[in-house]
Amino acid sequence: MTWPDEPRPRGGQERTPRPRDESSPRYQGSPRYQGSRAVGPGGYPDEDQPVPVPPRRRADGTRRLVTAVAALCSLGVLLLAACGWGVVRHYNGRVHHVDLSLAAAGRPAAAARGTENILLVGSDSRAGTGGQFGEVDGQRSDTTILAHLDRDGSTTMVSFPRDLWVTIPSYSSGGATHPEQRSKLNAAFALGGPALLVRTIEGLTGLRVDHYVQVDFGGFQAITDALGGVTVCVKELPASLRARGFDNLHDKMSGWSGQVGANRLDGAQALAFVRQRYGLPEGDLDRIRRQQQFLSVVFHAMTAPSTLANPVRVRDVLDATTSALTVDQGTSLTDLEPLALRMRTLTGGGSGFETVPATPATRAGQSVLLVDPAKLAAFLAPLRPAATAAAADTRAPAAAESTSVARAGQPASLLAGGATAAATQPATGQSSGGSSCTY
């Protein structure tokens, strides 16, 4: 007879089994006879002998462990991603949005791929403050900074004084169309809100604004308090300036009161610090330097280990920041991530603050700051797209108002003509290598 697992010969005839070489390793290890039954004498299965159980391989157990760990890790990553997206959606919902409705025609050319311009505005709106900072109608841009995030990894923060004498484009309000006019920069925000301010900055600089971000007075205070306060540095005024009545330690208008050196400030004190302009040698320009220092220490505090390791503080900072932010309709929190990452190195070699070059003057009975278009073009040329910079270079110098201008941080010898004593003071604003103390 033949075993069931042996093939039958064709024609139904039985065939005599071939002799088997029992000493052959191939035969003794054959799974045909050893896989399901024990092998008895002669190489044939023995029904009376127990079936051996193959030993469990250690490698199989290790493989299962690795597979389980990988699955758990994948699940963890998935949960973190889902939670992270949920957190972003939650805080995006807390941010206020404004529709700029900017027509594409007439705007500057877009920046090169990988480069962005973000307009940061500190509004002096007193709404909801209960008169804590005085009462004014509407709102004005107290702080205007253009953050230029270049594709090469460098960051330049360009501050625009609120008293800068600029051309405000025509705009519509209350069903009436108002013609183009010359006025202070902060008037653009008061007259036409964020959209008119963006158009004014784009017309002045030739730089296209990609994102708009606004924080009001209450927001400055809430963010500072959520961080547990910040420390700023105040530099002592020279005796000659103090003798002329300048005082950078006490100001009744803003409510500021401090000391020379380090000052630990809560929200209300920080707001008074960045609002003082009277009593400072260069008025609005010195206030800008204070604002630059304040922004630097705030961003450093936000990314400090003491903040990131404290979940309660992180939550409070996020709540305060997102509640105080107003951005354009096309901007979300993820769009602002590059700015936050670069601001961590604000005092490093790759980032720095600059101030639009200007000089004091009087226009329409007002104290203003004038710019020379030709020198402004040279100042902004490194930030402009190539085509825009080339077009700016062709402007006729005769179109500029007669004024003397120096770039912030450059020697006073670059000032043309006579300059006031205050204007010849060295720039002390936060920069990519400058002092962190300001007047």
Contacts of residue 301, Cβ cutoff 8 Å, sequence gap at least 6: 227, 230, 307
Share of the chain above pLDDT 70, in %: 64
Report the 10 Å Cβ neighbour count for 95. Answer: 18
> Does pLDDT of 113 surpass 50?
yes
Residue range 94-110: mean pLDDT, rounded: 89
Amino acid type, 89: R
196-253 residue pLDDT tens: 999 999 999 999 999 999 998 888 899 999 999 999 999 999 999 999 999 999 999 9
Q: What 3-state class would DSSP assign to 261?
A: strand
Query: Pick from 102, 291, 269: which is nearest to 197 by CA?
Result: 102
Contacts of residue 98, Cβ cutoff 8 Å, sequence gap at least 6: 193, 194, 212, 214, 326, 327, 328, 329
Tokens representing residue 11 in the block: 């024609």
- State residue 438's pLDDT score: 92
- State residue 158's pLDDT score: 94
Which H or E run contains 338?
helix 337-343
Classify strands 211-216 and 325-328 as parallel, antiparallel or unpaired: antiparallel
Note if the pTM is more than 0.75: no
Catalogue all structural domains in the chain, each as residue range(s) with its CATH number.
97-409+426-438 (3.40.630.190)
Q: What is the DSSP string of 37-58?
A: S-B-GGGSB-TTSPPPPPPPPH
Strands of the 437-438 sheet, one edge to the other? 261-265, 230-234, 437-438
Counting DSSP H helices and E strands in the chain, the numbers are 13, 18
Q: Rounded to whole angstroms, how far apart are CA atoms 195 and 79? A: 40
Residue range 132-157: mean pLDDT, rounded: 79
- State residue 419's pLDDT score: 33
Q: How does residue 388 score in pLDDT terms, banded at 50, 70 and 90? A: low
Amino acid type, 15: R
Q: Give the distance from CA 253 to its chain's centroid.
A: 32
